[in-house]
Amino acid sequence: RMPEKGWDEATLRLVIHELAALDSNTFVDNAGVGEREGRVICPLVAQRHFGLAHGIGRSGDIAEPQPKAAGSSLIYTLTNALAADALKRAGCAGVSECTVLPLATG
């Protein structure tokens, strides 16, 4: 559920950094070579995106958790749950699940 009071920026940054650290592309000394593994060379880009570069979903199913992107998968699951809750609060009482799809993937 969406919190009644939003989190402060420092808390949000901490949670996002902790979740991003679960993605294998952020592991120290990791040299992943999979075609879906995110790589960020520029520190400015890594900072701006909290190191999240791996993406979501698996072959054929965008909602399937990605084992090498545990943090991204958790963020995606949370996003879907919060979106469903927001729709319920907006008056769409019949909403039980929601899937948020990316519009621009780069």
Bridge partners of 58?
61
Q: What is the pLDDT of residue 105?
A: 62
Return d(Cα 47, Cα 2) in angstroms, integer: 26
| pTM, entire model | 0.80
Which of the four pLDDT bands, split at 50, 70 and 90, describes residue 93?
Answer: very high
Which of the four pLDDT bands, split at 50, 70 and 90, describes residue 30?
Answer: low
Q: What is the pLDDT of residue 69?
A: 86
Q: What is the pLDDT of residue 39?
A: 74
CATH number of 9-89: 1.10.10
Residue (of 62, 102, 100) closest to 83 by Cα position: 100
Q: What is the pLDDT of residue 37?
A: 66
Mean per-residue pLDDT of the chain? 85
For 69-88, the pLDDT digits (tens) are 889 899 999 999 999 999 99
For the chain, the structural domain boundaries read 9-89
Return d(Cα 87, Cα 31) in angstroms, integer: 41
Return d(Cα 79, Cα 41) in angstroms, integer: 27
